[in-house]
Structure 1
Amino acid sequence: MLALAGCDIQQPQADKATAGSETAQRPRWSTQAAGQLRQAIGRRAAHGLDQMPFALAGEGDAELTRVALAYASALARGATDPAKLYDLYTVPRPAPDLKAGLADALRTGNVTAWLDSLAPRTDEYRRLSQAYLKLAAQPMSPPANVPAAGEMIRPGMSDPRMPIIAQQLVNLDYIDVRAAQGTRYTPAMVAAVKRMQADYGMKPDGVIGSEALAILNMSDLDRRRAIAVAMERMRWLERTPPPTRIDVNVAAARLTYWRDGRIADRRNVVVGEPDKQTPQLGSPIFRLVANPTWTVPRSVQNNEIAQKGPGYLEANDMEWKDGWIVQRSGPKNSLGLVKFDMQNDQAIYLHDTPAKALFGMVQRQRSHGCVRVEDALGFAAMLARDEGVEEEWNEAQASGEESFVKLPRRIPVRMLYQTVLFDQSGEPIVRNDPYGWDDRVGAALGFKAGRALRVRSGGGDIAP
């Protein structure tokens, strides 16, 4: 089970999607349709599925149907089942009737068009596919293996590792080969490293330390696997998500607010530490809580507060109530001045925080599992205005006491995990995999090797 010390206990839930209609007639395959299936499977690298065989064991209708449905399911819902890969996964998934779809494709004689229609049709998926095919078409370069031992390399320094670093920057298209010469860390090299750091969500200071070296030591196979995993995660998602929703990318610690099909807001968040992971949930916000109190979970109470004594409780506006430690409303409250109540069994929710400095950090996996929102009061005001409860929210906030404002409609929230983002030119960039969750997906997709970019973070506080 995932440890969510500050956000209560979670219970795994099984994937409830069905495999399809049992009423479809037994398919009959023509030679043309069988050829279309083989050709489609032969092009499966466009979906990052070339490490999986989808092999035909015979020529009969039953075997062709079996393989067609297996490949169609991989395109439509993913080749892997996230509910089996993770203890908890409740994000809504597609549930197409593949048997009926195959029967219709065979009846019209166009298996190719049917299979092509199943995978995501977004620009992001298309760009991932193009990047994967480009990597698959070229010889796989080995990792650079820049030695991590030694001091950080600062602008103007000379270091024997610079030629290897320079070659890798050339390979990654951050610098021209003519500007990558010698052992000195030149201004041109510094500019290239800063661009790389910005792309990967690091502080662009030009200093080459352990995080920059982790990026430079990634091989083409590492990137290829990460892109295949990213496409697989997209296939897990329903093709027409709610037009008004909130998506939290836990891997990148970023929130995106969609309103009527358009991006209305983006902001940083703080999510669970690697040993207190924020799970992949689908769960709606149903109310806003102004000036929340916080009932400290038993695990935090016993493991992190019990030894601190009564002086700690007084200094942090905490008191005992009915055997629980409760933190009173106010600026010291660990939930800040607003909580976004969500409907789930894991006590996971979005909230404010008094620890504002965490939002400026590059690696923001520092909570006990809940999601802290940058400028949460501003975000709450935005939701209240959009949902027509602005007056009620303002009154609740001004009361200074814990108050609840029910939303007229629930806003779906999806806790996603995506380690491949896109730079300003639309090119995919492999980012940090803070929980190491790409490893199990990559292995399930048939990748025998490859490593994710792991930049560990920690140093969280007692808050959820």
Structure 2
Amino acid sequence: MTSYLGGSSALALILVLSGCNSPGQTGAQQQSAAQGPAAQAGGWTDGTAAQLRKAIAGRAAHGLDQMRFDAVGEGSGAQDAVALTRVALSYAAALARGATDPAKLYDIYTVARPNPDLKQGLSAALKAGDVAGWLNGLAPADANYRRLSQAYLALRRQPAAQAAGISDAGEPIKPGVADPRLPSIAHQLVVLDYLKPEAAQGDRYTPAMVAAVKAMQADYGMEPDGVIGGEALAILNLSNVDRARAIAVGMERLRWLERTPQPTRIDVNLAAARLSYWRDGKLVDSRKVVVGEPDKETPQLGSPIFRLVANPTWTIPRSIERSELAGKSGSYLRAHNMARKNGWIVQQPGPKNSLGLVKFDMQNEHAIYLHDTPAKAMFALTQRQRSHGCVRVEDALGFAEILARDENVLDEWHKARATGKETFVKLPRQIPVRMLYQTVLFDEKGEPIVRNDPYGWDDRVGAALGFKVGKALRVRTDQADVGP
């Protein structure tokens, strides 16, 4: 799925080279022209062609080694400007914007993307004779991207190994018991660097192994209870090929993003169900969220918060009315503070309102927003993909206080809350929100950890990058409630 970007830039380079190789020149004069004046005018030389070939040969550093970028072969040098330009712009686009188009991979993707002028960049690089330097500057330069790159290369250098194939049949394995699967489990814990080799002995679940499993569970966002059930076995059964694929997908998703995001913003990682609040370039708050369950996924949006809503009402969407409230009696509606208004079911303000006591209104056509919730217990769950698509924020009132204070509307916010009625507090400036999806997180040492892929969204990206269908971590989440 590489992009074809030829056109006027390629034509200009052809004309440059044609002018240098005009009729009447000798072979020596033509070679001199191709490597001298052509370079000064912005044409290809043997040197810049070699730089392009070397860059593409090293594309594994970006997780792109499963894709083909057919550069002109060794020895053809600058003679095929059309092909060189086409390949250079295609590879540059993969580094600068991603080798795939998320707007085509997903029904909804509105997060802002980079859009550099690659034709102008290539022209300048050719004039400077530094195609390598130009290409090296296109991919993300942040620490997370570098860590992913290093991890991917390390995995690709290891011998290909099959998944462990540890059976998930039978009862969960509890501390102290014996189980024939434990030698294989111990081996995988050693491979993943959670257990020392000398502790991988026998078929009994020892305290050393329990500690290793708890550390692994914590890294993967699971309840660290030391019990080896289906989720823990899914992690242990991932092969290096599966991990490499997930890391390559993680790099691709970073290439989709603007290189310099807004310094004040809110990022929501839908895969991890966590919110991060950045203020003036610094991370100042992070908290759990509940996002859409599979089949009701929260879309990947770029959409700003423009106002806070105190004591919100909730007009129930037709889809939820049909699926969740069909056949409910009038007494049920009254018990949940609901009433029909102009043909819609509306839930009135109050602590039992499904939006809780605060809504963070956002500008998008998909009716997606952040809000409070009375279902506080869901924040204690490991897998928090439980809503109908909107994003529920842990301690939403506390988060609203932070935003109101930072935006100098704290007094207005307090007055709005005190009314007990639905009241709107407009923010003096909009706060950008990015709904992202990243299945690779980092542990305390900065090492990448392949986490759960609750929506299965890694599959389509991995396939588009040329990877065979692999195994990803899946956890069923079937405890959604009536709320948005």
User: Residue 173 of structure 2 is aligned with which of 149, 153, 163?
Assistant: 153
Q: Which residue identity lines up with residue 291 of structure 1 in the other structure?
A: N
Separation in structure 2 between the aligned mates of residue 449 and residue 342 of structure 1, nearest angstrom = 36
Offset from partner CA, 1:175-232 (integer Å, 9 cap, x none): 0111011110000000000000000000000000000000000000000000000000
**Residue of structure 1 equivalent to 2:26:** none
Offset from partner CA, 1:261-287 (integer Å, 9 cap, x none): 000100000000001000000000000
Offset from partner CA, 1:387-443 (integer Å, 9 cap, x none): 011110010011100000000000000000000000000000000000000000000
Contact 1:20 1:98 in 2 (8 A): no
**Residue of structure 2 equivalent to 1:51:** 66
Separation in structure 2 between the aligned mates of residue 71 and residue 23 of structure 1, nearest angstrom = 15
**Residue of structure 1 equivalent to 2:164:** 144
**Residue of structure 1 equivalent to 2:263:** 243
**Residue of structure 2 equivalent to 1:358:** 378
Q: CA deviation at 1:19?
A: 7.1
User: Residue 325 of structure 1 is aligned with which of 345, 358, 367?
Assistant: 345
User: Residue 153 of structure 2 is aligned with which of 128, 133, 145?
Assistant: 133
Q: Which residue identity lines up with residue 410 of structure 1 in the other structure?
A: Q
**Residue of structure 2 equivalent to 1:429:** 449
Offset from partner CA, 1:311-354 (integer Å, 9 cap, x none): 11011000010100000000010000000000000000000000
2:288 paired with 1:288: no
Regions of 4+ moved over 2 Å? 18-27, 56-59
Q: TM-score scaled by structure 1?
A: 0.95
Q: Using CA pairs below 8 Å that are at least 6 residues apart, which structure has the higher relative contact order? A: 1
**Residue of structure 2 equivalent to 1:10:** none
**Residue of structure 1 equivalent to 2:56:** 41
Contact 2:5 2:90 in 1 (8 A): no
**Residue of structure 2 equivalent to 1:29:** 44
2:199 paired with 1:184: no
User: Residue 381 of structure 1 is aligned with which of 392, 398, 401?
Assistant: 401
Contact 2:459 2:469 in 1 (8 A): no
**Residue of structure 2 equivalent to 1:15:** none
2:365 paired with 1:345: yes
Separation in structure 1 between the aligned mates of residue 154 and residue 381 of structure 2, nearest angstrom = 33
Contact 1:286 1:411 in 2 (8 A): yes
Residue 282 of structure 1: SS of its match in structure 2? coil
Which stretch shows the higher mean deviation, 447-456 or 423-432? 447-456
**Residue of structure 1 equivalent to 2:115:** 95
Which stretch shows the higher mean deviation, 448-457 or 305-314? 448-457
Q: Which residue identity lines up with residue 348 of structure 1 in the other structure?
A: I
Separation in structure 2 between the aligned mates of residue 78 and residue 429 of structure 1, nearest angstrom = 22
Residue 412 of structure 2: SS of its match in structure 1? helix
Contact 1:21 1:99 in 2 (8 A): no
Q: TM-score scaled by structure 2?
A: 0.91
Residue 208 of structure 1: SS of its match in structure 2? coil
Contact 2:5 2:89 in 1 (8 A): no
Separation in structure 2 between the aligned mates of residue 428 and residue 347 of structure 1, nearest angstrom = 34
Q: CA deviation at 1:250?
A: 0.2
2:420 paired with 1:400: yes
User: For residues 152 and 385 of structure 1, do their structure 2 counterparts lie closer, same or farther at Cα, with a shift above 3 Å needed?
Assistant: same
Q: Which runs of 5+ in 1 are unaligned?
A: 1-17
Q: CA deviation at 1:373?
A: 0.2
1:213-252 → structure 2 map (5 Å cutoff):
213-252=233-272
User: For residues 254 and 21 of structure 1, do their structure 2 counterparts lie closer, same or farther at Cα, with a shift above 3 Å needed?
Assistant: farther
Q: CA deviation at 1:458?
A: 1.9
User: For residues 404 and 204 of structure 1, do their structure 2 counterparts lie closer, same or farther at Cα, with a shift above 3 Å needed?
Assistant: same
Q: Which runs of 5+ in 2 are unaligned?
A: 14-41
User: Residue 410 of structure 2 is aligned with which of 362, 384, 390?
Assistant: 390
Offset from partner CA, 1:212-265 (integer Å, 9 cap, x none): 000000000000000000000000000011000000000000000000000010
2:231 paired with 1:211: yes
Contact 1:155 1:186 in 2 (8 A): yes
Q: RMSD over aligned Cα, in angstroms?
A: 1.5
Alignment length (residue pairs) = 448
Q: CA deviation at 1:449?
A: 3.5
Q: CA deviation at 1:163?
A: 0.6
Contact 2:308 2:400 in 1 (8 A): yes
2:84 paired with 1:69: no
Percent identity between the two aligned chains: 70
Residue 432 of structure 2: SS of its match in structure 1? strand
Q: Which has the larger radius of gyration?
A: 2
Offset from partner CA, 1:14-70 (integer Å, 9 cap, x none): xxxx97996794352000000000000011000000101101256400100000000
Q: Which residue identity lines up with residue 187 of structure 1 in the other structure?
A: P
Q: Which residue identity lines up with residue 153 of structure 1 in the other structure?
A: I
User: Residue 372 of structure 1 is aligned with which of 392, 397, 410?
Assistant: 392
Contact 1:287 1:340 in 2 (8 A): yes
1:266-305 → structure 2 map (5 Å cutoff):
266-305=286-325
Contact 2:356 2:371 in 1 (8 A): yes
Offset from partner CA, 1:159-185 (integer Å, 9 cap, x none): 000011011101101001110111100
**Residue of structure 2 equivalent to 1:199:** 219
Q: CA deviation at 1:138?
A: 1.1
Separation in structure 1 between the aligned mates of residue 250 and residue 5 of structure 2, nearest angstrom = 23
**Residue of structure 2 equivalent to 1:417:** 437
User: For residues 20 and 65 of structure 1, do their structure 2 counterparts lie closer, same or farther at Cα, with a shift above 3 Å needed?
Assistant: closer
Separation in structure 1 between the aligned mates of residue 350 and residue 47 of structure 2, nearest angstrom = 70
Q: CA deviation at 1:302?
A: 1.5
**Residue of structure 1 equivalent to 2:37:** none
Separation in structure 1 between the aligned mates of residue 187 and residue 116 of structure 2, nearest angstrom = 47
User: For residues 21 and 255 of structure 1, do their structure 2 counterparts lie closer, same or farther at Cα, with a shift above 3 Å needed?
Assistant: farther
Contact 1:21 1:97 in 2 (8 A): no
